């Protein structure tokens, strides 16, 4: 699966990976494409099915095609390495083996089980979000196969919400030597605005605002006509979104000759640790104990498609995939010793929910 590279921006490669997955599940699940995404319905032991469990993953990775040359799939010192091995091909492989174990051991599963494999999670889930939400609404629980936290493999029971804002400033261009007073610098105006925007961060409440990209101006001897900034926001609670949005929308230019245009907003709502999430974690913890694992939970500032399902109020448990480190980094790897207990935990959850 790792050797079948699948960068988000190469739809043919992502589709090839989804086909590989569907082929591997032949005879065990019926897989259908829905747009660029894949939904597999499993045939598991147990007579009457009531309700549904949805497992959620993504086929795409952040690694461009050809990464395998410098970062080959390999086994070394108790780990598996390679692009996308942790985020999140391990999780998909684990799910495949968990459902296979349930079939082979004839362990009854009371609910219908589906696996949705999105094509665009790493780039914001624009084409998959509606499908994720539709399938989640029909589910009693959502199991997200993203990596666990840290080398302990903590589950994720809270994720921050994520948004993007674009701040575009228009000024008045003029010759920096001949007509200095006639110009109104968009670059200077943006710099002043960024000072205000940085103050929107409230670390105590977990709200962060990061102007990550700025651009503007054309030459040093021209007073800049345009400048813009791209700003990433993270919020732990949905109720933080509106007040923060109001702050962005109320930015006014200090130099009246400049204008400011603010676009953007929340992209992923936060996954809040609701009662439903807490109950699901308590169950997972109990099942892990039977495997001799002391399972812990964690909160993260990173988002996943679990943000969408949790925001609908559907109990969602995230981080059930690989245990390792280095997602999106060259040392991306999973611990081989933690594969069996992870697969067993997923299987136990499917049988218990």
Q: Which residues of the chain form contacts with Zn ion (CB under 5 A)?
A: 87-88, 146
Return the bridge partners of 216, or none.
227
Closer CB to Zn ion, 145 or 186, in the complex: 145
> What tokens appear for 151 in the block?
């080398």
Residue 294 beta carbon to Zn ion: minimum distance, rounded to whole angstroms: 25
What is the Rg, in whole angstroms, of the alpha carbon atoms belonging to the chain?
23
Residue 191 beta carbon to Zn ion: minimum distance, rounded to whole angstroms: 35
Bridge-based pairing state of the strands 161-170 and 208-216: unpaired
In angstroms, rounded to a whole number, what is the distance separating the alpha carbons of residues 305 and 119?
11
Residue 91 beta carbon to Zn ion: minimum distance, rounded to whole angstroms: 8
Closer CB to Zn ion, 146 or 189, in the complex: 146
Closer CB to Zn ion, 88 or 323, in the complex: 88
Closer CB to Zn ion, 149 or 193, in the complex: 149
Residue 304 beta carbon to Zn ion: minimum distance, rounded to whole angstroms: 6
DSSP 215: E
Are the C-beta atoms of residues 54 and 143 closer than 8 Å to each other? Answer: yes
Closer CB to Zn ion, 87 or 120, in the complex: 87
Strand arrangement, sheet containing 37-42: 29-34, 37-42, 112-118, 52-58, 141-144, 316-317
Return the bridge partners of 206, or none.
none
Residue 176 beta carbon to Zn ion: minimum distance, rounded to whole angstroms: 47
Closer CB to Zn ion, 8 or 193, in the complex: 8
In angstroms, rounded to a whole number, what is the distance separating the alpha carbons of residues 70 and 203?
38
Residue 120 beta carbon to Zn ion: minimum distance, rounded to whole angstroms: 11
Closer CB to Zn ion, 51 or 64, in the complex: 64
Residue by residue, DSSP assigns 77-121 as TTEEESTTIIIIIHHHHHHHHHHHHHHHTT----SEEEEEEES-G
CA distances from 352 to 3, 56, 91 (A): 34, 18, 19
| Number of other CB atoms surrounding residue 151 within 10 Å | 11
Bridge-based pairing state of the strands 52-58 and 141-144: parallel
Residue 131 beta carbon to Zn ion: minimum distance, rounded to whole angstroms: 17
Q: Residue 213 — φ and ψ, nearest 5°?
A: -135, 130
Residue 148 beta carbon to Zn ion: minimum distance, rounded to whole angstroms: 12
Helix (H, G, I), strand (E, B) or coil at 205: helix
Residue by residue, DSSP assigns 2-53 as TTS--BTT-HHHHHHHHHHHHHHTTTTEEEEEETTEEEEEE--S-S---SEE
Residue with nearest beta carbon to Zn ion: 87
Residue 188 beta carbon to Zn ion: minimum distance, rounded to whole angstroms: 40
């Amino acid at each position: 699966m790792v050797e079948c590279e699948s960068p988000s921006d190469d739809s043919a490669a992502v589709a090839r990976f989804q086909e590989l997955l569907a082929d591997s599940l032949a005879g065990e699940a019926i897989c259908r494409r829905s747009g660029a995404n894949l939904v597999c319905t499993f045939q598991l032991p147990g007579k009457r099915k009531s309700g549904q469990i949805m497992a959620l993953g993504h086929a795409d990775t952040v690694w461009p095609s050809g990464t395998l040359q410098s970062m080959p799939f390999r086994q070394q010192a108790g780990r598996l390495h390679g692009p996308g091995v942790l985020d999140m091909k391990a999780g998909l492989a684990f799910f495949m083996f968990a459902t296979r174990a349930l079939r082979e051991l004839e362990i009854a599963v009371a609910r219908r089980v589906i696996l949705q494999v999105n094509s665009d999670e790493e780039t914001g889930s624009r084409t998959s979000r509606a499908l994720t939400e539709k399938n989640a609404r029909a589910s009693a629980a959502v199991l997200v196969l993203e990596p666990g936290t840290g080398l302990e493999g903590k589950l994720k029971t809270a994720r921050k919400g994520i948004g993007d804002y674009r701040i575009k400033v228009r000024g008045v261009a003029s010759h920096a030597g001949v007509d200095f007073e006639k110009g109104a610098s968009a670059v200077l105006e943006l710099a002043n605005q960024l000072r205000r925007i940085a103050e929107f961060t409230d670390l105590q409440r977990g709200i962060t605002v990061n102007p990550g990209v700025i651009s503007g101006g054309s030459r040093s001897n021209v007073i800049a006509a345009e400048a813009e900034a791209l700003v990433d926001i993270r919020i732990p609670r949905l109720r933080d979104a509106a007040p923060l949005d109001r702050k962005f929308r109320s930015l006014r230019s200090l130099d009246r000759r400049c204008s400011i245009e603010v676009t953007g907003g929340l992209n992923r709502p936060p996954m809040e640790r609701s009662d439903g999430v807490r109950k699901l974690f308590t169950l997972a913890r109990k099942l892990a104990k039977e495997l001799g694992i002391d399972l812990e939970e964690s909160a993260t500032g990173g988002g996943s498609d679990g943000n969408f399902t949790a925001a609908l109020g559907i109990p969602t448990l995230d981080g059930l995939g690989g245990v390792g480190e280095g997602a999106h980094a060259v040392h991306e790897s999973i611990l081989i010793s933690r594969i069996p207990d992870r697969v067993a935990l997923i299987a136990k959850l499917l049988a218990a929910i």
